[in-house]
Amino acid sequence: MIVLGLVGSLVLLAAVASAQAPTARVESEAIKSDLEAIKSELEDVKRQLGQILRLLQPRAAQAPNAPPSHARASVADAPTLGRPDAPVTLVEFSDYQCPFCQRFFLATLPALKRDYIDTGKVRYVFRDYPLDQIHPQARKAAEAAHCAGDQGKYWEMHDLLFRNQKALAVPQLGEHARSLGLQVPAFDACLVSGKYAERVSKGLEDGLAAGIQGTPGFVVGKTEPGPSVEGATVRGAQPADVFRRLIDQLLAGK
């Protein structure tokens, strides 16, 4: 009887274990899936933190007498101001929602435009560098400028966006188009279609390749015949004198 009882117990335990095995496998698969999801989320957080750190790092003002580093920046298919064959090229990587970029636009660019760009000494190139994680409206604003460019008003939209940095939501971009006298249906269709999304992304890729870590970031060098320029880098919204010194040295052949 004892033997029969033991045999019965063993059969019962085997049956229970057999019944529980699929459940254990399901739970194991669920845990594995949860771990993969957590890993993916951690990688996403890591990428976001890296982008934020790249933005914060250049916030410390570049010392006026610090030796600049050098980089090569692409200027292919980018909007430009000034003579195409001007001896010096100034490339800006910028974000329409960035307050430091607005500071450069308002406080420094007008002087450089008056003294160098309008006089044929400097070719100014604007590249999009939207920091999506902290400036979620910058990318669509950049696309809006290119859509306005389809109707011959890229720079008018560029200026309007920087002057109205608190009004960059998509409906407000349509209002800006209307205020510039654009054909709004065509502008809206361009914006909704994402016609220039790839070009904006290319600006970000080219900026990263040039070592740009935050906005605004600049490369100032001698104009070359190809689709790029090599020169000194400038970080942040520096005063006009920082750019003047670099430009004047290049104009003097140094």
The end-to-end CA distance of the chain, in Å, is 105
Q: Which residue has the higher pLDDT, 68 or 161?
A: 161
Q: Looking at the DSSP assignment, which residues form a beta bridge with residue 125?
A: 80, 91
pLDDT tens digit sequence for 132-146: 999 999 999 999 999
Is residue 15 scored above 70 in pLDDT? no
pTM attached to this predicted model: 0.74
H or E element, residue 138: helix 138-149
- Which of 116, 94, 79 has its CA nearest to residue 246? 116
pLDDT tens digits, one per residue of 157-185 = 999 999 999 999 999 999 999 999 999 99
Domain range 69-251, CATH architecture: 3-Layer(aba) Sandwich (3.40)
Residues 77-103 as b or e (16 or more Cβ within 10 Å = b): ebbbbbeeebebbbbbbbbbbbebbbb
Cα distances (angstroms) measured from residue 109 to each of 45, 86, 106: 35, 17, 7
